[in-house]
Amino acid sequence: MRKGYLVCYDIRDRRRLVHVCRYLKGRGLHLQYSVFFCSLTWEELQKVKARLRGMINEREDDVRIYPLPSSPEVVALGRGARIPEGAHLFLEGVEGRGPWRGGDPD
């Protein structure tokens, strides 16, 4: 069963930062500079954690993985409040909610 996770990081070395970001782009949705949403099974989560552990310097870097509730309510303020025009966001497992589409809500 898949579950949603926020993966957030603060990486001090630029080379490690680029490496971590590229890795996560292949596994999730890039929400903000250092924040990804990932939908993972338990096994996939274990692999992601092991891979990230091997990429970072645990004395200098900080990676956090937060599990999300099964029916998250998202509040976005400021620049992040809109989904880009033409984009469609489908939330797996969230009943009663169709796709959220980019553009003006009106």
pLDDT tens digits, residue range 79-96?
765 555 555 555 554 444
pLDDT over 70, % of the chain: 74
Same structural domain, 12 and 55: yes
The yes-or-no verdict on residue 104 having pLDDT over 50 is: no
Same structural domain, 45 and 1: yes
pTM: 0.72
Same structural domain, 63 and 75: no
CA atoms within 13 A on the CB side of 101: 6
Q: What is the pLDDT of residues 15-55, one digit of tens each?
A: 999 999 999 999 999 988 999 999 999 999 999 999 999 99
Same structural domain, 23 and 7: yes
Same structural domain, 55 and 8: yes
Number of domains in the chain: 2
Range of the domain at 62: 1-68
